[in-house]
Amino acid sequence: MIKETLDLNQLERALNSNPMIKSAEVYVSVNGTLNVDVEQKTPIARVTTNASYYIDDEGVFMPLSNNYSARVPLITGFVEKNNLNTIYKVAKKVNEDEFLKKNVIEIYQNYRMEIFFRLRRCDFLVKLGTEKSLDKKINNLKVFYKKNLKEHTLNSYSQINLQFDNQVVCTKT
């Protein structure tokens, strides 16, 4: 193909229309080489409600891939594709925090927009409540988890409630 007949803008638009691509740049270098710089979207959570899809690292809908399945927490419950703001904030926090990224396997949101976690290797449910004071709640969870892991008492609880200020309310099994 002769480089004078290439429509670089059309190629760029075609690449950017792919729902798995965050951004694409097509250009010809000084020596005549066609270059394409592509940045993929990065999934941080997988919504499994009526329809399955990912939420990317910018809080935007991202379709599932036929070629790849990301190891990210599942999001279940009451989630609307056009209202991902709350669930995105929580999923982003899980993705950015090493402890949460390693331990959270499910994020559940009920119809009142209350958030719950399921943790790897634990039978209890963690109730965060709303996203308000999220950092404080997560810090309380980490302290609780580490203390009870050391004492081997994690599986003696059915629910951990973090929705109250400066409290971790536990329900024993």
Q: Which of 3-7, 48-52, 85-89 has the highest average model confidence (pLDDT)? A: 85-89
- Tell whether the model's pLDDT for residue 67 goes beyond 90: no
Per-residue burial over 130-160, b = 16 or more CB atoms within 10 Å of its CB, e = otherwise: ebebbeebbebbeebbeebeeeeebeebeeb
Evaluate whether 23 touches 36 at the Cβ level (below 8 Å): no
Q: How far is CA 167 from the centre of its chain?
A: 26
Q: What is the pTM of this model?
A: 0.83
Model confidence at 70: pLDDT above 80: yes
Residues 7-53: tens digit of each pLDDT: 888 989 999 999 889 999 998 888 888 899 999 999 999 999 878 99
Q: Which two tokens stand for residue 141?
A: 């969870």
| Residue 112 in tokens | 């009142």
Predicted confidence (pLDDT) per residue in 99-130, tens digit = 999 999 999 999 998 999 999 988 899 999 98
